[in-house]
Amino acid sequence: MDKRIKKEALLIANNELVFQNLEKEKRAAELLIANKQLVFQNLEKEKRAAELLIANKELAFQNQEKEKRAAELLIANEELAFQNQEKEKRAAELLIANEELAFQNLEKEKRAAELLIANKELAFQNLEKEKRAAELLIANKELAFQNLEKEKRAAELLIANKELAFQNLEKEKRAAELLIANRELSFQNQEKEKRTAQLIKANLELKRAKEYQNEYTNGLEEIMFITSHKVRQPISNILGISYLLNQPSNSPEELKESLFYMKQSALALDTYTKELTVFIFNLKQKGKKINKIEN
């Protein structure tokens, strides 16, 4: 009976010992897994520290690039201002040259009209002289035959009166035609003056349109530059920091540092957005000014 009890007690003790050994093995395995996780976390922290160092170097390099681009943009703006002044001077010189050319054309047209009138008057005078010479010849012949042809003289005098009346009618017709021609010439000169003024106005409007187009194109290029370089950089920084914030193993100091960099990127984004708004507003104002000048 005692042996059975001892055997049972020994069996129970063996079972407990086996159970305790199993528990120890489980705890040892868990401890090994925990050590591996700790090593992995340390490696991740070292990787993040290296990435943060690289990001800081890239940020310093980008700041230097921004300063260089700002200096280049300042130089480009000064060159653009100088070119605009040169264009305005050339436009003023061209306007003066166009006005002088228009004045010279008007003078030429006036002289051409005067020469045409003088030629017509000279031709008319030559015709009158020829007519008078013919009439004088006829008169001389009639005078020679007056003594012999008294009866014919009355008939010839009647014919001469009819011819004179006919000549007077022809003169009046020619005078009327000359008056109409002068009116047409005056109307044509007025039309030429109107067309010259319209051409000058069209040239000015075309020049202003080209200037506004150039300003608008440059403005669009500047907007694309601001959007693709200045605005895109803070957004990329915020997205990268957001990705880091989603990591579960961030320490309070890392979170604080990430929030600081995110705030700096947000402030930079706000500054560039204001810059873009002011630039678009100024571009619109320039367009309104040019439209007012054209109107």
Per-domain residue ranges of the chain: 60-294
Its pTM stands at 0.31
- Distance separating alpha carbons of residues 133 and 79, to the nearest angstrom: 79
pLDDT score of 290: 64
- Distance separating alpha carbons of residues 88 and 111, to the nearest angstrom: 35
Q: Which helix H or strand E contains 2, and what residues bound it?
A: helix 2-146
pLDDT score of 295: 57
- 280 closest CA partner among 209, 211, 205, 218: 218
Give 10-residue mean pLDDT values along the chain (295 residues).
76 87 90 91 90 90 90 90 91 90 90 90 90 87 79 78 90 90 90 89 82 77 74 82 77 82 87 85 75 58
Q: Is 147 helix (H, G, I), strand (E, B) or coil?
A: coil
pLDDT score of 103: 92
Q: Are 282 and 74 in contact (CB under 8 A)?
A: no
pLDDT score of 1: 63
- Distance separating alpha carbons of residues 246 and 249, to the nearest angstrom: 9
- Distance separating alpha carbons of residues 196 and 201, to the nearest angstrom: 9
Token pair listed for 183? 């009116």
pLDDT score of 151: 79
**Neighbouring residues of 204: CB distance < 8 A, sequence distance ≥ 6:** 95
Name residue, tokens 């309070």. Answer: 252
Q: Are 124 and 240 in contact (CB under 8 A)?
A: no
C-alpha distances out from residue 82 to 88, 159, 173, 218, 272, Å: 10, 86, 66, 16, 27
DSSP 249-279: T--HHHHHHHHHHHHHHHHHHHHHHHHHHHH
Question: Which DSSP category does 246 fall into?
Answer: T
